Each structure stands twice: as C-alpha cells, then as structure tokens.
Amino acid sequence: MQSRSPLIGTVIAVNASSGDAVRAGHEVVILESMKMEHPVVAESDGTIADIGVAVGDTVEENQVLFTLTPGAIEADRTVAGPGTSSTERADLARFQERRRLTTDDARPAAVDKRRAKGQRTARENVADLVDPGSFHEVGSFAVAAQRQRRSADDLMVNTPADGLVGGTATLDGKPIAVASYDYTVLAGTQGLINHIKKDRLFAFTEELRLPFVLFAEGGGGRPGDTDSHGVTGMDCMAFSLFGALSGLVPLVGIASGYCFAGNAALLGCCDVIIATENSNIGMAGPAMIEGGGLGRVEPTAIGDIDTQSRNGVVDVRVADEAAAVSAAKRYLNFFLHRRIEPRPGNDEALRGVVPEQRTRVYPVREAITHLVDGADWLELRADFGVGIVTALGRIGGHAVGIIANNPAHLGGAIDSDASDKASRFVQLCDAHDLPIVSLCDTPGFMVGPEAEKSAQVRHFGRMFVVAGSITVPWITVVLRKCYGLGAQAMAGGTLHGRYPTLSWPTGEFGGMGLEGAVRLGYRKEIEAIADPVERQALEDKLIAAAYERGGALNIAAHAEIDEVIDPADTRARLIALLDAAPVPQPRTGKKRPMIDTW
C-alpha cells in the first residue's frame, strides 16, 4: 500500500523507518508547504516496507512517500506517535487562566467590598436577569487602556473586561442584550476599551433587534486611560448608537449606587429607569461639580432616590438590585410576550369601585387591580404627575398600557406634569405596539393663574399631538367624570375615536364641569332672585337637570358615546376588542423616530 504526497512541499519530519510497526493514523511523514504542516499518516495497521524520502527532500504532488504492508501487529512493537501527551495543551491552559481572571472568583477582595455595601457584582446581576447558561459575553478579555502606566498582569487582574460586562442572552426564551458596568473596576467608569465594546454591542443590538438592559452604576468618563490616540474621546459613538436604539427596541436602565455623568446619560436614554433606594443619579458627580467651581459635595447629596422619583426621572423605585432585576423581568415580559394565557380579573368588584355619591373620591388603582389579569400590573412614575396613573398590565392575556385619572389628586384634573407623563407613556406603547386602555375620570385640565405658570398650554397640547400620531388601539372607558378638553385628551382627542368609547353608568359628561356650566350659563337668572333660599333652589334644580342631560345613558341616547356597560362586563368588552384588533406586523425599522425621554 503506497502513501503519496497530497501536494508540493518539503519533508520536515520522518517518524518511522523500514520494518517499524505502526497503527492506523500514525504520522509517518510530515510535509511543509506555504508555512503549513501536512502530516501523511498510515491508513491502516501494518509494517513500514519502505521509506522513500528523507528530511529536507522536496516532493511533488502524488509522489510516493512510503510503502505500508497492512497486517496485525503486536502492541509492544508499535512506534509511538509524535506529540502524544497526557498533559493539557498549552494554548488551552493559557485560555483557561485568562478566563479565570475575568470571573468574580479571581477577585475575592473586590467581591467582599460589594457585599459590605449590600450590593451584588455585575456578573451576579446579569446572571440573575437572564436564563441560566444563556449569556454569551463579548469583549470579556478586554483590559483598561492603561498599558503605558500599568503592567499587563496588573491590568488583567484588576481591570477585567475593562469594567463592562456585556453580551447577548435569552430571557424567558427570548433573545436580549445586556450590559453591566462593573463598579469594582475603576468605579464603573467609561474607558476607551469599554466604549469600543459598547459600540459593538449596540451595533449587534440594532442588527438583531434585541431588547437591551443596561446596569448603569458608575462614575462617568475615565480620565486615567493613557493608550488613546485622541485627546477628548468625544468622538466615541456610544451615545449616538444607543440613542438611535430608542423606539426600535425596548431599553431598560437600572441604577444602583452612584450613577453619574456618562453613565447617567445612557441611563436617561432608556424607555424605563428602575432605581434602588441607595441610588444617586446625576449628570455630574462630585468631581465635575468641584471642577466647575461649585464647591465640594458628597455623592450622596446628588440625585437621591426621593428627588429622582418625585421629579419623574425614575419610573420604578425598588429596594435593592434583586428587586430591580425582578422589576426589569416584569417590565420586559409585556414586550417579549405580547399575549399569553389569560388569567381572570375581578369582574364583580368593578361594580363597587366608583361610589354612588358622585363627589366622593376613590382609589383608582383598585379599578386597575380588578380589571387586569390576576391583579398583576406594573406602575410607572408613580411619584410624578400623580394626577394620572400609567401602568402596564394584561387583559385577557393581551399586554396593554393603561392610563387612568386619579380623582384623589386635584379631583382628577390634568396638570402639566400629568400631561407629560401620559404623553410619553403613549409614545412608549405606540412604539412597541401595545394597545392603550384609558380610564377616564377627570373634570378637565387644571385651571388658574398658577397652573399657567407651568407652561400648561404647551404641556397639555402634547396629549393631543401624541395621540394623533399613534396607530395602536385606544379604548376609552369612562368611569365617572368626562368633562371638557381634559376628557377629550383622555379619549385620544375625541369620544368618536377608531375604537368604541364605553362608559359605566356612573359616567357624567359635559363641555365643562356641570356646576360651573350652570352658574355661568344661568348667571342672570340666578342673580335675579333676591331670596337666597329660592336662589339656591333654582341653582340646585338647574344642576340636577344638567346632570340628567349629561348622564351616561342620555349621552349614549344621543350617540356621543358608543355604549353604557355594566362595570362587571368591562373586561369582556375590552377582551373582545383586543382579540379583534389587527395583529401588528413585524417591522424592519422604527415605527416612531424615538421615544421622548421626558
């Protein structure tokens, strides 16, 4: 059996001699061609009959290299094969050691510091968020760009992943992308290399249309990197690329501990911000404040959780990182699974939500709790714009956005903050194809000189222009008051929208508050009566008549709304409409240019 050369090359090794017994697969001759080695092996067990070449010979393609006589051989006569070893390969061993240095186990002191602060590591947060075993990291072997001031070993040990753990994974079986700044590495600052990593990850996210979760803890830009060819670093692409994801994929930001400057800028681009009680969030940290000549401040004095919840920066306030991850999962569930197996609501309880006494306030969140599947819903910006409640929930298994007037605040009147809150929430729902359910109980927009100082004309106008730009279903259910422009805004601009407008029997309607309308419209008649008792009696009679004309049943009789329903039938009505609504078609790009950050 002749073994021939597969190509033109030079013999660099001959690993057998005539008469040697070899096993099948033994590398008898090794050739080199174009700097690559090509072993020629024995094709069966046998004995070498003849070796036709020597080290240094140049051979032609198809030239005979050796002749093998096939046959059984004794094991102890076999020539040992080259390169056989029971030890681990050197390249694999080096890889495993470098991989070990990227793990939390390699840095026990850093982990202990996190524990002392009651916080978790970046890798622990990522592992808690994603499905087990699904995380595929990118850029894990990166180190800080400080080779001019630190040794390679120092950088590998103390700056793993250059302070940013990121990659792709799955959540509930759905693909997502995730990045977590690592505060144990140079205070979670944004370095040259981790900016490059972010740019790559953001590009993957756009290409693959992946929801993105960002753990944003960190101190912003890093001044200590020395290996840059530039000066300011302001030509980095991270902020442009991340901003471009708005409206394309869901963006979730999580803050715990200190989150300043560049980290806060990325956080502020997110659709939703989830923050822990120990959070301090600010566009400038202590160093920048002092550098601006504004004195020294403690980091804990900047953007505390109370401040950032009340002013609307934080959407969901939670106790700690574990709760933040749980909230992120709940939030993303509405976008990853647009429809799931439905759970029951509490239909009968809806009948008792609105008191019979029409001037008595009630907790509108109870209406939401009874309306949604399993009493399970997630409120956003609870401490800001409190006149309107914005929430995500499910009705009949459908993921929906819910807006509801809060009659316990200003009687449900809509002020500037509530207008902004509702307008941005509607953008969020429309961008990601979530139907909107509006629960209306408002006397209208807020009135008075003080209200106008808040630029209410512009803020309130947002509700109309945003509602006029959407394509998702908007279904309005009037719980009680439905007065004036505020009510029209809660109905997407008109009671005759693309989807039916429903009302509970407690609904009352008017171009303005009925008491005010009577006092303005009948002022002459009322003031003409001298007797105060008779005057009040006439006013009461006129108001009662106005309520009769403005009651839900009479409004339905004039077809200004589509139907008055038993509150216990609300879920059934909504489910039927949601089931009938067109299913959004997959898009290759954005539906909206972006989601307003405010």
Structure tokens given for 446: 């807020």
Residue 241 is predicted with a pLDDT of 95
Residue 594 maps to a domain = no
Structure tokens given for 466: 């945003």
Indicate whether 234 and 147 sit together in one domain: yes
By C-alpha distance, which of 217, 163, 214, 231 is closest to 191?
A: 163
Q: Considering 268, 300, 333, which residue would you say is the last residue of a domain?
A: 333
How far apart (Å, rounded) are the C-alpha atoms in residues 369 and 339?
A: 19
Q: How many domains does the chain have?
A: 4
Q: Considering 37, 52, 77, which residue would you say is the last residue of a domain?
A: 77
**Residue 192 to residues 47, 165, 427: CA-CA distances in angstroms?**
61, 14, 34
According to DSSP, residue 163 is labeled G
Residue 362 maps to a domain = yes
Indicate whether 324 and 359 sit together in one domain: no
Burial of 105 (0-12, 13-18, 19+ CB in 10 A): exposed
Q: At which residue do the structure tokens 């509930």 appear?
A: 172
Indicate whether 187 and 319 sit together in one domain: yes
Can you name the residues that pair with 399 across neighbouring β-strands?
Answer: 394
Indicate whether 192 and 266 sit together in one domain: yes
**Residue 116 to residues 17, 121, 335: CA-CA distances in angstroms?**
68, 12, 36
Residue 207 maps to a domain = yes
Residue 597 maps to a domain = no
For 328, residues 6+ apart whose C-beta sits below 8 A from its C-beta are 129, 213, 252, 254, 274
Residue 85 maps to a domain = no
pLDDT single digits (tens) 214-224: 999 999 988 88
Indicate whether 143 and 184 sit together in one domain: yes
CATH no. for residue 135?
3.90.226.10
Indicate whether 301 and 359 sit together in one domain: no
Residue 513 is predicted with a pLDDT of 66
Indicate whether 530 and 474 sit together in one domain: no
Residue 400 maps to a domain = yes
Indicate whether 25 and 125 sit together in one domain: no
Residue 84 is predicted with a pLDDT of 47
Residue 81 is predicted with a pLDDT of 62
* Residue range of the domain that includes 50: 2-77
CB 38, CB 4: distance < 8 Å: no
CATH no. for residue 69?
2.40.50.100
Indicate whether 297 and 275 sit together in one domain: yes
Indicate whether 283 and 300 sit together in one domain: yes
Residue 460 is predicted with a pLDDT of 93
Residue 532 is predicted with a pLDDT of 85
The CB density around residue 330, as the number of other CB atoms within 10 Å, is 15
* DSSP assignment string, 45-70: SEEEEEE---TT-EE-TT-EEEEEEE
Residue 289 maps to a domain = yes
Residue 178 maps to a domain = yes
Indicate whether 570 and 475 sit together in one domain: yes
Indicate whether 243 and 389 sit together in one domain: no
For 517, residues 6+ apart whose C-beta sits below 8 A from its C-beta are 510, 511, 546
Q: What is the pTM of this model?
A: 0.88
Q: Considering 333, 362, 383, which residue would you say is the last residue of a domain?
A: 333
| 529: enclosing H helix or E strand | none
Q: Which residues of the chain have pLDDT under 50?
A: 83-84
